[in-house]
Structure 1
Amino acid sequence: MNVTRPVMRTGRKFAQVLEGARDVFLAEGFEGANVDDIARAAGVSKATLYSYFPDKRLLFMEVARAECLNQAEAAMKLVRPDLPPRDQLLGGARQIVEFFNSPMSLSIFRMCVAESERFPEMAREFYRNGPLMARNLLADYLKCATEQGVLKVDNPELAAEQFAELCKAGIFMRRVFGVAEEQSPEWCEEVAQSAVEMFMARYGVQQDAV
């Protein structure tokens, strides 16, 4: 199949193909998913599937791109300047923890790492549409909160990266190396709460702690 032809993101069956592909990739992973199963789940012919996506990698990355955009849109809805920073950060932490605990997110990560040398632009696109977008969104919030005097952050971009790393603790490494299954909601909540407490201990201001 031709891997250089661009993805066609128009047509009435495009969303149908993505939904079916997402279900199959989530259940089988990238290697285990095959075109026949994806076409069947999407309710389209293989010819229709190929007309949109000439290569399985392109289809996988389009699913990854859509997942990242959905996460970004959900994160934007969480941004409420009227909330105290602790509450605002907790909402963000819960979403980040959920992302790192997600089987789909792990599949995307593994795929991008495995193919980063042969298809570097694919990995870069995932980074731009996922981690970088989330970091910039959080950094913008931290900058505004600092200007309002409710946080004290000198380097918003670095602080945003640190916050994401806190939200990975006890989850991401266990999941990515396959030493643990999907973590329980109780553990995810504990990780999110702890991440916020540690972040506030470093970047909070006195009135927030009172």
Structure 2
Amino acid sequence: MSDKTTPETPAFGLDDPRVLTIVREARRHFMAEGYAATRMEPISRGAAVSTATLYGFFPSKQHLFSAVIADASGDFSAQMEHVRVANGGAREQLTRFATAYAGFMGDPFVRSVFRLVMAERPRFRDVAQQFFDKGRSDFGRPLMAALQTLTDRGELKIEKPSWAAGQLMGMIEHPVFFMPLVTGDEVQAARSPEQIAADAVETFLARYGV
């Protein structure tokens, strides 16, 4: 199998506790060492399973990497449950969403997974695309629906909710996610995530508030 081909994750015993142990151990190795430098044998040792057992669940490193990204995506979905637009007025809803979104995007683990996916995007194009599309959908669609509802209620004046949602999320993503992604996690933003979220909401309401 060519490295340029993204494998389908095989059907394996998801109820077998060894599977999750292997995937989490592999995640640690992939994030610390990168895809190319990661070897299967240290993963099997760290997961306390034989190499034969590891290959029984995951026939290749490509399959294992795909499973790691799928597992991380599942973790993100669980975290995203807290990043929802709830009932309330425009400022209350937007502040709740912006604060939760800033906290999620500012999580070093989230950046670590994104770095790993971006680094291996040419090799695992389909896996990477699914990963990014899921994140965009899980965040963007509920926000767009909320913006449309607030517009229908006369609290906002928005012609294109998709554009407006992208602008709000972009004001948060740049300082809490993209800047640390480029400069390194040790570089801290001058503003706290809560202040970044509050500033983004103020700017958004100045543009779209009634």
TM-score normalised by structure 1 residue count: 0.76
Query: 1:37 deviation in Å?
Result: 4.3
Instruction: Report what 2:179 is aligned to.
Output: 174
Aligned to 2:160: 155
Pair 1:99–1:75, CA change in 2 (3 A): closer
Q: How does 1:52-131 map to 2 (within 5 A)?
A: 52-79=57-84, 81-131=86-136
**Which ranges of structure 1 fall in alignment gaps of 5 or more residues?**
206-210
**1:126 CA drift (Å):** 0.9
Query: Match of 2:93, as an amino acid?
Result: Q
Offset of 1:80 from its aligned partner? Answer: 5.3
CA–CA distance in structure 2, aligned partners of residues 161 and 186 of structure 1:
21
Q: Relative to 1, partners in 2 of residues 1:72 and 1:8: Cα closer, same or farther, differing over 3 Å?
A: same
* 1:136 equivalent in structure 2: 141
Equivalent residues of 1:102, 1:182 under 8 A apart: no
| Corresponding position: 1:4 with 2:3 | no
The letter for the 1-side match of 2:200 is A
How many pairs are equivalent?
Answer: 204
Indicate conservation of the 8 Å contact 1:65/1:129, yes or no.
no
Query: Residue type of the partner of 1:122?
Result: V
Instruction: Measure, in 2, the Cα distance between the counterparts of 1:43 and 1:155.
Output: 53
Q: Quick check: which one's helix share is greater?
A: 1
Question: How much identity, in percent, do the aligned residues show?
Answer: 29
Deviations 1:170-199 (A, max 9, x none): 233331223441647962222122122212
Structure 2: segments with no counterpart, 5+ residues:
none
- The Cα of 1:144 is off from its aligned counterpart by 2.2
Distance change in 2, residues 1:20/1:179 (3 Å): closer
- Whole-Å Cα distance in 2 between the matches of residues 94 and 42 of structure 1? 36
1:76–1:5 Cα change, 3 Å:
closer
Q: Residue type matched to 2:101 in 1?
A: I
Q: TM-score, normalised by structure 2?
A: 0.76
Contact 1:39 1:49 in 2 (8 A): yes
CA pair 155-95 structure 1, distance change in 2 beyond 3 A: same
Please state how far the C-alpha of 1:9 moved relative to its aligned partner: 5.1
CA drift at 1:29: 5.1
